[in-house]
Amino acid sequence: MLVVPAIDLLGGRCVRLHQGDYAQAETYDLDPVEVARGFVAAGAKRIHLVDLDAARTGSPTNRPVIGAIRRAVSVTVEVGGGLRTDDDAQALIDLGIDRLVVGTTLVKDPDAVARWVARFGSVFVAGIDARDGEVKVSGWEVGSTVRDVELAARCRALGLISLVYTNIARDGTLGGPDLERTLVVAEAAGLPVVLSGGIASLADFEAVRRANHPLLAGVITGKALYKNRIDLAEVIAQYQDDRHGGLW
């Protein structure tokens, strides 16, 4: 697996939400750029950034911070949150972002996603965030009536190269990941899938390794790092295999 540390940005600051609830945002007194540098120093090959303001309202207020992070590190940087228009995609590409994670637009306007792939190339990743199997959009605050497996099955035809799957009920809880549902979604997509949400300990990474599924490409971890529940360098040394990391 590839171990992917996460930085969630709200108002330019590092935060973690509990089950996607903005009212339960926990803010950390950390410089996001220095956090990213620390992740790279620990051995990270990819960093997952989420623009929570843009995800909720479409306002790209965190792009200066995202640009500063991109300039500060030489690893793969992926960004999700608020990718709604051609201009949004162009702006992130212009910042040098390597992977663009699409969620709300994937549900509401898949033709736009296909158009972006044709224009910008194979840099788009599906972000499927679900509660009880229903995909949530607009910062996880709005239901879609679309099932996670149904959306996953469409991704390959749209030209997406991989998928990040989050069980919202697990996200930010340190309650353990939903490995079972992630594998179901992976099978539906037929694409490399990154598990997100609930990671709390080395045992969770061990469970992913034991699953040994060919489509389970990586694990995103956030709150466990900020809470010092795991040591990133230790996890990477013990579990990371990045031989195929550049392909998705």
Q: Which domain CATH number covers 121?
A: 3.20.20.70
State the CB neighbour count (10 A cutoff) for residue 2: 23
Q: Is residue 210 part of a domain?
A: yes
Q: Is residue 246 part of a domain?
A: no
* 235 phi, psi to nearest 5 deg: -60, -45
Instruction: Name 138's Cβ contacts closer than 8 Å, sequence gap at least 6.
Output: 55, 56, 104
> Per-residue confidence of the chain (248 residues) as pLDDT tens digits?
999 999 999 999 999 888 878 888 889 999 999 999 999 999 999 999 999 999 888 888 899 999 999 999 999 999 999 899 999 999 999 999 999 999 999 999 999 999 999 999 999 999 999 999 999 988 767 878 999 999 999 999 999 999 999 999 998 889 999 999 999 999 999 999 999 999 999 999 999 999 999 999 999 999 999 999 999 999 999 999 876 566 78
Containing domain of residue 186, as a range? 2-241
Active site residues: 8, 129
Q: Is residue 248 part of a domain?
A: no
pTM (predicted TM-score): 0.94
* Number of structural domains the chain divides into: 1
User: Which of 78, 80, 81, 116 lies closest to 97, judged by CA?
Assistant: 78
Q: Is residue 42 part of a domain?
A: yes
Q: Is residue 247 part of a domain?
A: no
pLDDT tens-digit profile of 23-69? 888 899 999 999 999 999 999 999 999 999 998 888 888 999 999 99
User: Which of 118, 119, 69, 117 lies closest to 95, judged by CA?
Assistant: 69
Q: Collapsing DSSP states into helix, strand and coil, what is residue 2?
A: strand
Q: Collapsing DSSP states into helix, strand and coil, what is residue 53?
A: helix
Q: Is residue 226 part of a domain?
A: yes
